[in-house]
């Protein structure tokens, strides 16, 4: 048995990694792409296309939850319009209740008759009163309505192992116990299935300002009390590093080796002091965002290298459980609410992130963009009873074809997008063989002024039919407003053709395209 497991370990280590390369060509020419269409690789976990909803600003209250007595159409208090929009994304997993809020959330405040729930202060996000009307039952009802998995973030910073253990028992134990009976008393007979449970959030910061050494021990202690009751199988996720902090990863892998570990990486044009405006920016700021987004590739690689040092059998899953753009406070919005608009620039950034996640689907099994509604890089914005979907929403809708597909190796040689002596590849790509058997190629053109022609060869496949959709706009800051909610939306990609077994396509400047090839 021992020998067999060593052999599996060695084979795992020797497995040839996927080959997805991008090269900037020295002299400008035709962009070329080779896809190994005949050699499907690892499955792209649908959970890579996951989302995050925190008790922050108007994400939950007003965005998702209006309460059953609201005039806004709802199902048991959950907004119908938002629900319908999110369903179209095949949203696979939702993380809740934070974020920083998670480490001050006491779950027992959010169960039982709503009128009896305590009012607390949300100290992280605007010092507003949280009435706890949206709690465990409401969140898991939302997950069931969406048909998605739940990723619960537990309270390590200000909670106890006992509190965490009780929560897991309350949600997942199918028997006669104090917690299970309390759940039944509150109207839910059968337990829920919880796929992921996070042991704290950003414990290097708002979750307790811990060192990695200290958190590794705390993680081991708390995770011991997350039990898998009969019929339940929870993946326990550790708080991972902030961006490129490989030391945190090293300590966690050497001391705790969790089942999953989540990195957070946000991008902006400026820095944390002045992140830049969501809608008023110049090309320098566009370029800055593209370069910072592209760094995700190296961040992922660096963390995987550290993980492999301790875990060559790849048992620990890598998550990017908070990611996206973060802009200065939107004029006129409430401080601490993190409400921001979302332009075609955010859409291209999201397209790049998702391509990079797809290409490392050997290790990355879940990601959660921040955040679903009205907060940071949201899918949906609401204003009273009005709702619109953002350019980033459209990217998730277009890319959903990759969910559960098999990664295909890709080799891209492209022109540079240069600015003030710096250059980045003008194009970014990933490809998969979808569950329906078609090949899907998602391509971002990062250059905001120059369209790109591309020639694509599909090794191991004779293409007979191709179609495509594109998301682009006339201006870099094009976005959807409540007066013009469809200013940015996908259209058919014109002029793609198959010639001499190659695909030829013209990608507009500042665009995200998804091609479907049969
Ligand atoms: O997504 C907003 C905040 O960003 C989260 O609460 C926190 O985890 C991160 O710093």
Residue 3: pLDDT band (50, 70, 90) is low
From the alpha carbon of 202, which atom of ligand 1 is closest?
8
Helix (H, G, I), strand (E, B) or coil at 461: coil
Of 284, 254, 249, the C-alpha closest to 269 is: 284
CA 514 / ligand 1 centre spacing (Å)? 30
Q: Which atom of ligand 1 is nearest to the CA of 338?
A: 2
DSSP letters along 113-172, please? -GGGSPPEEETTTTTEEE---S-HHHHHHHHHHHT-EEEEEP--SS--HHHHHHHHHHHH
Whether pLDDT at 347 is above 50:
yes
Sheet strand arrangement including 466-471: 406-408, 427-433, 439-445, 511-517, 466-471, 491-492
Contact 301, 249 (CB under 8 A): no
Question: Residue 426 in contact with residue 417, Cβ under 8 Å?
Answer: yes
Q: What is the pLDDT of residue 495?
A: 86
Helices (H) and strands (E) in the chain, counts: 11, 28
pLDDT at 117 over 90: yes
Residue 1 covered by a domain: no
The bridge status of strand 452-459 relative to strand 466-471 is unpaired
Cα–Cα separations (whole angstroms), residue 256 to 360, 405, 418 = 23, 31, 43
Residue 475 shares a structural domain with residue 496: yes
Q: Same domain, yes or no, for 33 and 174?
A: no
Q: How far apart are CA 177 and CA 483, in angstroms?
A: 53
Q: How many A from CA of 342 to the centre of ligand 1? A: 18
Got the DSSP string for 230-281?
A: TT--PEEEEEEEETT-HHHHHHHHHHT--SEEEEEEEE-SS-SS----SSS-
Share of the chain above pLDDT 70, in %: 97
- Same domain for 326 and 469, yes or no, is no
Beta bridge partners of 20: 410
- For residue 156, how many other CB atoms are within 10 A of its CB? 26
Last residue of one domain, picked from the residues 369, 404, 439: 404
> How far does the centroid of ligand 1 lie from the alpha carbon of residue 442, in Å?
28
Sheet of strand 452-459: strand arrangement: 20-24, 410-414, 31-36, 452-459, 502-507, 497-499
Residues 481 and 362 in one domain: no
- Answer whether residue 11 shows pLDDT above 70: no
pLDDT at 148: 98
Residue numbers of the domain that contains 35: 16-41+408-517
Q: Does residue 6 fall inside a structural domain?
A: no
Site residues for ligand 1, CB cut-off 6 Å:
54, 98-100, 201-202, 322, 370-371, 376
The residue out of 404, 438, 469 marking a domain boundary is 404
Which listed residue (130, 169, 202, 297) is catalytic?
202
Same domain, 354 and 446: no
Provide the pLDDT confidence category of residue 27 given band limits of 50, 70 and 90: confident
What pLDDT score does 14 carry? 46
Question: What is the C-alpha separation between 493 and 508, in angstroms, rounded?
Answer: 9
What confidence tens digit (pLDDT) does each residue in 129-171 have?
Answer: 999 999 999 999 999 999 999 999 999 999 999 999 999 999 9
CB 235 within 8 A of CB 223: no
pLDDT at 10: 46
Number of Cβ within a 10 Å radius of residue 73: 12
The two three-digit tokens of residue 397, written as one number: 């809708």
**Does one domain contain both 309 and 458?**
no
Structure confidence at residue 349 (pLDDT): 98
User: For a pLDDT cut of 90, what percent of the chain falls above it?
Assistant: 95
Q: What pLDDT is recorded for position 19?
A: 84
Answer yes or no: do 24 and 119 share one domain: no
Residue at token pair 């605007």: 126
**What distance in angstroms lies between residue 409's CA and the mean position of ligand 1's atoms?**
33
Question: Do 201 and 259 reside in the same domain of the chain?
Answer: yes
Mean pLDDT across the stretch 44-54? 98
Indicate if 235 and 328 belong to the same structural domain. yes
Last residue of a domain, one of 404, 426, 450: 404
Give the pLDDT mean for 167-187: 98
User: 406: helix, coil or strand?
Assistant: strand
pLDDT in tens, 413-434: 999 999 999 999 999 999 999 9
Say whether both 440 and 333 belong to one domain: no
Average pLDDT of 236-250?
Answer: 98
- Split at pLDDT 50, 70, 90, the class of 8 is very low
pLDDT value at position 271?
A: 98
Q: Assess if residue 11 is contained within a domain.
A: no
For tokens 């939107």, name the residue: 330
pLDDT (0 to 100) of residue 17:
62
Note if 169 is an active site residue: no
Residues 21-49, mean pLDDT to the nearest whole number: 95
Nearest CA residue ID for atom 5, ligand 1: 99
Nearest to 232 by CA among 197, 201, 198, 262: 197
Residue 322: active-site member: yes
Instruction: Look at residue 4 and tell me whether its pLDDT is greater than 80.
Output: no
Tell me which residue has its CA closest to atom 2 in ligand 1: 99
Rounded Cα–Cα distance for residues 61 and 54 (Å): 10
What's the whole-model pTM score?
0.96
29: confidence class by pLDDT, cuts 50, 70, 90: confident
Q: Please state, in angstroms and rounded to a whole number, the distance separating the CA atoms of residues 109 and 119.
A: 8
Provide the CATH number for the domain around residue 419.
2.60.40.1180
pLDDT, average across residues 308-320: 96
Tokens representing 511 are 């665009």
- What CATH code is carried by the domain that includes residue 160? 3.20.20.80
Q: Do both 267 and 340 map to the same domain?
A: yes
- The per-residue pLDDT of the chain, averaged, comes to 96
- Mean pLDDT for 480-507 is 96
- The whole-number average pLDDT for the span 237-263 is 98
Residues 418 and 357 in one domain: no
Residue 7's pLDDT is 52
- Could you tell me the two tokens for 442? 């998602």
- Residue 172 Ramachandran class (φ > 0 left, ψ -120 to 50 alpha, else beta): alpha
Q: Please count the structural domains in the chain.
A: 2
* CB-based burial label for 10 (10 Å; 0-12, 13-18, 19+): exposed
Residue 26 confidence (pLDDT) = 84
Tokens matching residue 269: 């044009």
Residue 12 is predicted with a pLDDT of 45
Residue with tokens 């919005």, as numbered in its chain: 333
Residue 366 has pLDDT above 70, yes or no: yes
Beta strand pairing status for 128-130 and 149-153? unpaired
Q: Is the pLDDT of residue 6 over 90?
A: no
């Amino acid at each position: 048995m021992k020998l067999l497991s060593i052999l599996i370990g060695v084979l795992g280590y020797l497995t040839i990694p996927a080959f997805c390369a991008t090269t900037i060509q020295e002299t400008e020419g035709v962009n070329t792409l080779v896809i190994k269409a005949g050699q499907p690789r690892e499955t792209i976990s649908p959970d890579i296309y996951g989302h995050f909803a925190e008790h922050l600003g108007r994400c939950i209250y007003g965005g998702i939850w209006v309460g059953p007595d609201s005039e806004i159409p709802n199902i048991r208090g959950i907004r119908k319009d938002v629900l319908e929009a999110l369903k179209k994304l095949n949203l696979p997993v939702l993380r809740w209740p934070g974020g920083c809020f998670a480490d001050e959330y006491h779950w027992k405040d959010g169960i039982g008759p709503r009128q009896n729930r305590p009012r607390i202060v949300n100290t992280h996000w605007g010092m507003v009163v949280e009435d706890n009307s949206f709690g465990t039952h409401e969140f898991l009802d939302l997950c069931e309505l969406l048909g998605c998995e739940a990723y619960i973030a537990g309270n390590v910073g200000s909670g106890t192992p006992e509190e965490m253990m009780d929560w897991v028992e309350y949600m997942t134990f199918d028997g006669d116990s104090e917690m299970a009976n309390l759940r039944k008393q509150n109207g839910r007979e059968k337990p829920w299935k919880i796929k992921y449970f996070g042991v704290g959030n950003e414990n290097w910061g708002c979750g307790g300002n811990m060192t990695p050494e200290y958190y590794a021990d705390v993680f081991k202690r708390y995770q011991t009390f997350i039990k898998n009751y009969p019929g339940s199988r929870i993946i326990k996720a550790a708080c991972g590093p902030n961006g490129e902090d490989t030391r945190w990863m090293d300590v966690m892998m050497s001391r705790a080796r969790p089942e999953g570990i989540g990195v957070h990486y946000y991008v902006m044009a400026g820095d944390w002091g002045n992140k830049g405006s969501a809608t008023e920016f110049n090309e320098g700021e566009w370029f800055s965002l593209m370069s910072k987004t592209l760094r995700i590739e190296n961040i992922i690689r660096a963390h995987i290298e550290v993980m492999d040092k301790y875990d060559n059998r790849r048992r620990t899953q890598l998550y990017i459980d908070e990611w996206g753009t973060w802009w200065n406070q939107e004029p006129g919005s409430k401080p601490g609410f993190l409400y921001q608009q979302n332009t075609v620039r955010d859409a291209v950034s999201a397209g790049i992130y998702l391509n990079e996640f797809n290409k490392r689907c050997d290790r990355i099994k879940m990601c959660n963009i921040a955040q679903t509604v009205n907060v940071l890089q949201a899918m949906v914005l609401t204003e009273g009873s009005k709702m619109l979907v953002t350019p980033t929403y459209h990217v998730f809708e277009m890319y959903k074809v990759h969910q559960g597909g098999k990664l295909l190796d890709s080799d891209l040689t492209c022109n540079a997008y240069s600015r003030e002596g710096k250059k980045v590849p003008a194009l970014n790509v990933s490809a998969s063989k979808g569950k329906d058997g078609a090949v899907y190629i998602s391509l971002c053109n990062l250059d905001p002024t120059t369209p790109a022609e591309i020639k694509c060869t599909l090794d191991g496949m004779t293409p007979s039919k191709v179609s495509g959709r594109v998301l682009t706009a006339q201006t870099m800051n094009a976005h959807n407003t409540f007066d013009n909610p469809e200013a940015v939306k996908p259209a058919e990609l014109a002029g793609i053709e198959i010639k001499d077994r190659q695909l030829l396509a013209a990608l507009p400047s500042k665009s995200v395209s998804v091609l479907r090839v049969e």
